[in-house]
Copies of this chain bind each other. A is one copy, B any other.
Amino acid sequence: MDYQHILKEIEQELASQSFSGEIATYIPELAKVDPNKFGVHLCSLEGNDYFLGDNEEKFSIQSISKVLGLALAYQLEGEKIFERVDVEPSGNPFNSLLQLEYENGIPRNPLINSGALVVCDILISLLEDPRADFLAFIRKISGFSTISFDEKVAESERQSGFRNAALANLMKSFGNIHNDIDEVLDFYFHTCSLSMSCKELANTFLLFANHGKLLHTGERLLTSSKTKRINAIMQTCGFYDEAGEFSFRVGLPGKSGVGGGIAAVHPGEYSIAVWSPRLNPKGNSAKGMAVLELLTTKTGRSIF
């Protein structure tokens, strides 16, 4: 399929539209980003790359990293991780603490903060050097050895991360955090601080489009079944309180971050990453959503 042509069309159609959302400002580092940045990068399973705009500029991937943490924990521990975190959508966010209390400290899914904290806790128990090992994993999947944490962002997260600390402590009171709280939070904040470009993200998510194999080497990192489960979790839980809307408008498994990034995959066909920092009221990139909606419309490929 002529993805480059389609991306160009999308670029033109969206050029005339204005996207008026705010950028995330809850941590100072995010507030400094130019709200008009815009990048797209698509990797097809044929091995081709297609892109637009600032596709090589790095940004804070934030919650998109939750998928990568899940992938590593799932690879290492298998189904056992689902004894400590469920795989169901979470409903509206106001009741996250109530939900944890009611369900004895078991988060609804690994793509909300509480669930990602449990995943981080699992990784700390498994890895010798969690930060370095996690980074090595992502560098390997992506093929980019320069991906790294943004220490300033990680520090910023820590200084305003009281709600995450509340979640971690509540789960620890139920026995569902095994390591030291500060260590778990520190690792979690680092995963959120990953700095990546659309190009790097799309290449990373190619693993999920390719059923768990690295495209270029053919090395299998995840079984086909595990990859399917990760995609299913992205489909139902990847967009905060807008998973249903995204399912309808885009119809691809994906994950968004408050930095304005979205990574998505069409299993068997391609992976894509978009970046535009202005967020819609539900916290997802407004223009990013529009790009993906147009893409699935123009390619005529929706899973529904």
Can you name the residue of chain B whose Cβ is closest to the Cβ of A97?
Answer: B97
A165 to B65, CA, bound (A): 26
Contact code string A206-243 (vs B, CB < 8 Å = 1, else 0)? 00000000000000000000011101110111000111
User: In this assembly, does A163 line the interface, its C-beta being within 8 Å of a C-beta of chain B?
Assistant: yes
Measured CB to CB, the closest approach of chain B to A247, in angstroms, equals 4
Can you name the residue of chain B whose Cβ is closest to the Cβ of A233?
Answer: B244
Contacts of A229 in B (CB 8 A): 248, 304
- Interface stretch, picked from A7-15, A141-149, A167-175, is A167-175
Of the candidates B101, B248, B253, which one forms a contact with A304 in the assembled complex, judged by CB atoms under 8 Å apart? B253
- Quickly give the copy total for this chain: 4
User: In this assembly, does A155 line the interface, its C-beta being within 8 Å of a C-beta of chain B?
Assistant: no
Chain A contact surface mostly: helix
Contacts of A248 in B (CB 8 A): 87, 228-229, 232-233
A138 to B231, CA, bound (A): 34
Of the candidates B91, B172, B228, B244, which one forms a contact with A95 in the assembled complex, judged by CB atoms under 8 Å apart? B91
Q: How many residues of A contact B (CB 8 A)?
A: 49
Measured CB to CB, the closest approach of chain B to A127, in angstroms, equals 23
Say whether A92 contacts B97, CB under 8 Å: no
User: In this assembly, does A303 line the interface, its C-beta being within 8 Å of a C-beta of chain B?
Assistant: yes
Measured CB to CB, the closest approach of chain B to A257, in angstroms, equals 19
Contacts of A173 in B (CB 8 A): 162-163, 166
Say whether A242 contacts B88, CB under 8 Å: yes
Say whether A166 contacts B170, CB under 8 Å: yes
Given the known inter-chain contacts A166-B169, A244-B233, A304-B232, please indicate yes or no for A99 contacting B89, CB distance below 8 A: no
Say whether A108 contacts B92, CB under 8 Å: yes
Contact code string A94-106 (vs B, CB < 8 Å = 1, else 0)? 1101110111000
User: In this assembly, does A181 line the interface, its C-beta being within 8 Å of a C-beta of chain B?
Assistant: yes
A108 to B253, CA, bound (A): 21
Can you name the residue of chain B whose Cβ is closest to the Cβ of A98?
Answer: B98
In this complex, the member of A109, A247, A302 whose beta carbon has the largest number of chain B beta carbons within 10 angstroms is A247
A242 to B108, CA, bound (A): 11
Say whether A235 contacts B92, CB under 8 Å: no
Say whether A91 contacts B94, CB under 8 Å: no
Say whether B304 contacts A228, CB under 8 Å: yes
Say whether B302 contacts A228, CB under 8 Å: yes
Q: Which 3 A-B pairs have the closest CB atoms?
A: A91-B91, A89-B89, A231-B304
Can you pick out 23 interface pairs between chain A and chain B where the beta carbons lie within 8 Å of each other? Answer: A87-B245, A88-B91, A89-B91, A92-B102, A92-B108, A95-B95, A97-B97, A97-B166, A98-B101, A162-B170, A162-B173, A165-B165, A165-B181, A166-B167, A166-B169, A166-B170, A169-B169, A228-B251, A232-B251, A233-B244, A233-B247, A235-B235, A236-B244
